[in-house]
Chain A
């Protein structure tokens, strides 16, 4: 219960907060970030994303093609000096983890240049460093209590559940897009084929009739 000495306690706490703040900003690399983006990549187009990463940060790039054509895309990841860290052509899904070897701007590009008329929808998840802690004072000296560490492990487990759900949703979206595609194609094809059938069969009959009704001489020759 904060009764006597609460003022002293706040002053001490403020001092501690100040020190922790300094430590957080100067010694510890900044809290990480995760960007999950789904975007449309038109045909013959290339889309690049950039991110400034500090040295020693562990990063993960995961991408998946959701709709379009053969569900594949070219992906390329370069470090600040232009060295290619990861390059794959016509991949449907992949995951790549790397540790940043130098500070600078890392660039990754998705290319649909090999396709002439299909738009692709691409999802990617670029995780830089660890997730920001719930409390800025996460670097505290005292250990977590049992309850708190249980909460942390449940949190991590739920994060992986959400991750699996995302991947499941993307695969389902892919399957559903193929099914809807198929449905439309069946509809168009059946109407088209009905028309072609009618046109061809009626045309056949009239063409055949025309062979026999043009010249009278031909008829008599056949007759005799």
Chain B
């Protein structure tokens, strides 16, 4: 045990003054270095929707950054502050759980209360068509779900965890996410089973009904025609 603690002496203990500042600086620079997340182009009135199928009580964090095409410099520049994005999040029952406008750079968070497909829609709030000038808006998007949304540095600082404790905490969070997903899987499988059984019932009832209809129609047709021909004195 002492030997292990001896190995740990190297870095500053988290949560204490200088260590925290340096850690924050490192994180800031790390984030800046990987600021180039996945991006796509969006038209002016275009609405782009993304689907996240998640179990309940799961946190989702989305980060986006916009850039506008500058014709003079022929490259993409960070968009003007006036150009914002409207973010709308709908839960599986199509109820809106988040509908807010953010600036040209924003971060939105929501926690699911029902399991299922949540829809995250983004569209720009631009009304001035000259702003896009026929070009497209470049949107860098990053969506983190569940355990990936946790900021471990913050957790370590808040709860004053050692490195080993933080790793174990990460494992615990991962296992919780797996458990939630499995519960959700059970719910989904039940829905699937209900759908299949409903189809089965419908096919069964339909075939019986069809046979009865056919027989009834046939009998009616023959009786009707017989009485008709008898009336016409053909039979």
Contacts and interface: CB of A to CB of B under 8 A. Distances in A.
A40 B51 contact: yes
B195 A180 contact: yes
Contacts of B12: 9-10, 13-14, 17
Closest 10 pairs between A and B when the two form their complex, measured CB to CB: A151-B167, A190-B206, A52-B36, A13-B12, A38-B51, A35-B38, A30-B33, A158-B174, A183-B199, A201-B217
A89 interface: no
Nearest to B175: A158
Interface residues of A, number: 75
A182 to B, nearest CB: 6
A183 B214 CA distance: 23
Interface string B45-82: 00011111100000000000000000000000000000
Contact of A186 (B16, B39, B49, B203): B203
A100 interface: no
B37 to A, nearest CB: 6
Is chain A's binding surface mostly helix, strand, loop or mixed?
A: helix
A201 B221 contact: yes
Interface string B195-232: 11011001100100110011001000100110011001
A140 to B, nearest CB: 7
Nearest to A200: B217
Interface string A206-219: 00110011000001
Contacts of B48: 39
Interface size class of B (residues with CB under 8 A): 35 or more
A134 B166 contact: yes
B185 A168 contact: yes
A176 B7 contact: no
Contacts of A212: 228-229, 232, 234
B188 A172 contact: yes
Contact of B164 (A2, A32, A147): A147
B216 to A, nearest CB: 10
- Residue among B26, B153, B198, B233 having the largest count of chain A Cβ atoms under 10 Å: B26
Nearest to B156: A135
25 contacts: A21-B25, A24-B26, A25-B29, A38-B52, A38-B53, A40-B51, A50-B38, A50-B40, A136-B26, A140-B11, A145-B164, A151-B171, A159-B174, A165-B182, A172-B189, A173-B188, A186-B203, A190-B202, A194-B209, A194-B213, A201-B217, A201-B221, A208-B225, A209-B228, A219-B234
B22 interface: yes
B206 to A, nearest CB: 4
Contacts of B181: 162, 165, 169
